[in-house]
Structure 1
Amino acid sequence: MQQKRIKVFIADDHPIIALGIKSILRDDPDKEVVGQAESSEELFKALPDTRPNLLLLDLNMPGNDFYRNIELLRENYPWLKVIIYTAYEAPDLVKSLLDAGAHGFLLKSASPTDVREAIERVVAGEQYVGARDRTAQAPSDQAPGPESLLKDNFRRRLRLSKREQEILVLISRGMTSQGIGNTLYISKYTVETHRKNILRKLEVNSSTELVKFAIKQGLV
């Protein structure tokens, strides 16, 4: 009996990435790319028609943040396997992403062989983590370290509204309150109010600490 082909969907705001994945899988008889999206909105519009087995999801897709995307995917497509595909290399981030609901983690610098292996193993029900990040899965009896801190960061991040998360990302990119206001079509003073609320909710005292938090969460 012929094995069903693995249907892959690519969600990344850089078309060159989708082109690269298509090139890797083009001659693979067991896999096919059934769709691609450059934003969260495009992704959720396309999923009902394409019905993929596996989603390669960029960590920083325009639209919803990663955690919201995962939440929606788990609610509406619980059978869909998700591999986070990112250029952001942070071993202490991996466990938080897997705990949130991802099934695998793969760097964009991974070889074509690694990409194919990741897809096959995740669809088979395994959890895949790129070779350089496997230490993040290792159990430890040591005192709380980066992973515990990251879980705490994740809990704090859940306190932020969607607007506050948008502003956090823009702050982390070095934008001023006026620049953020212009981008989001709100006043500078509204941005300042959001900034104060973000500081309070994340339990930090300065914009510098906000940037550090955003980096740990893979937002920038």
Structure 2
Amino acid sequence: MIRVLLADDQRLVRAGLRMLCQGSPDLEVVGEAENGEEAIRQVAGLSPDVVLMDLRMPGVDGITATARITATRPGTRILVLTTFDDDEHLYPALSAGAHGFLTKDAPPEELLDAIRRTAAGESPFSPEVLRRLVRKAVGAHRETGDAKELASLTDRERDVLALVGAGLSNAEIAARLHVAVSTVKTHVTALMGKTGADNRVRLAVLAHRCRS
């Protein structure tokens, strides 16, 4: 069971998220917070697996709350869910330690999948958010070590890297390559070890740099 905390200053939004989560047998909403300070306090008391974190809240905002939670409770993962997907909010949230970033217009099934992926250690992003992250990173950095990194990869690892770069989840990659999800996880771990990338966004950036 994945324990979820909802942090949003709008009661109606929290009610909708609670109803959505309660419709999934593997998700349990353990608490709600209407501002960042309350979210920090509830995380300390409830130890949720995932926090659905809004960014604009009164008092302590979501970015500050994310930084404090990830610093003191590294076992709790933060999935940002916000109306704002602009760079002004995206990069500070990621710098604060957010593990994923979705906009509130994401389809319900995408949100539920993102919660599960976040709990499993993945970093889900809305497709447009991921594309913008990759474009900015590719434009800012062109690593001379890319060719060397690629040379050490197996053909299957290259396949997995390309699909990570396309924004696919482990389950989607497994279905595309006709292998077990556990096999994909093994390949992703190997990719991180060989390339020095510590998360899926950096792997996606590498995939796009090497393709361009």
Q: TM (normalized to structure 1)? A: 0.58
- Name the SS for the 1:137 alignment partner: helix
Bigger radius of gyration among the two: 1
Deviations for 1:132-163, whole angstroms, at most 9, x for unmatched residues? 2221232654358xxxxxxxxxxxxxxxxxxx
Question: What is the RMSD of the two structures over their aligned residues, measured on CA atoms?
Answer: 2.0
Residue 143 to residue 43, structure 1, CA distance change in 2 (3 Å): closer
CA distance in structure 2 between the aligned counterparts of 1:40 and 1:97, rounded to whole angstroms: 13
Structure 2 contact 66–93 (Cα < 8 Å) conserved: no
Paired residue type of 1:38: E
Kindly indicate whether residue 65 of structure 2 is the aligned counterpart of residue 69 of structure 1: yes
Paired residue type of 1:59: L
Paired residue type of 1:80: T
Residue equivalent to 2:210:
none
Percent identity between matched residues is: 31
- Out of 124, 133, 139, the residue aligned to residue 137 of structure 1 is 133
Deviations for 1:144-192, whole angstroms, at most 9, x for unmatched residues? 8xxxxxxxxxxxxxxxxxxxxxxxxxxxxxxxxxxxxxxxxxxxxxxxx
- Name the SS for the 1:129 alignment partner: coil
Segments ≥4 residues shifted beyond 6 Å: none
How many residues align? The count is: 140
Paired residue type of 2:44: P
Deviation at 1:83, TM superposition (A): 0.7
Structure 2 contact 101–124 (Cα < 8 Å) conserved: yes
CA distance in structure 2 between the aligned counterparts of 1:41 and 1:100, rounded to whole angstroms: 15
Residue equivalent to 2:32:
36
Residue 94 to residue 68, structure 1, CA distance change in 2 (3 Å): closer
- Name the SS for the 1:128 alignment partner: coil
- Name the SS for the 2:16 alignment partner: helix
Paired residue type of 1:41: E
Paired residue type of 2:83: A
Q: TM (normalized to structure 2)? A: 0.60
- Name the SS for the 1:35 alignment partner: strand
Paired residue type of 2:57: M
- Out of 113, 117, 123, the residue aligned to residue 121 of structure 1 is 117
Residue equivalent to 2:82:
86
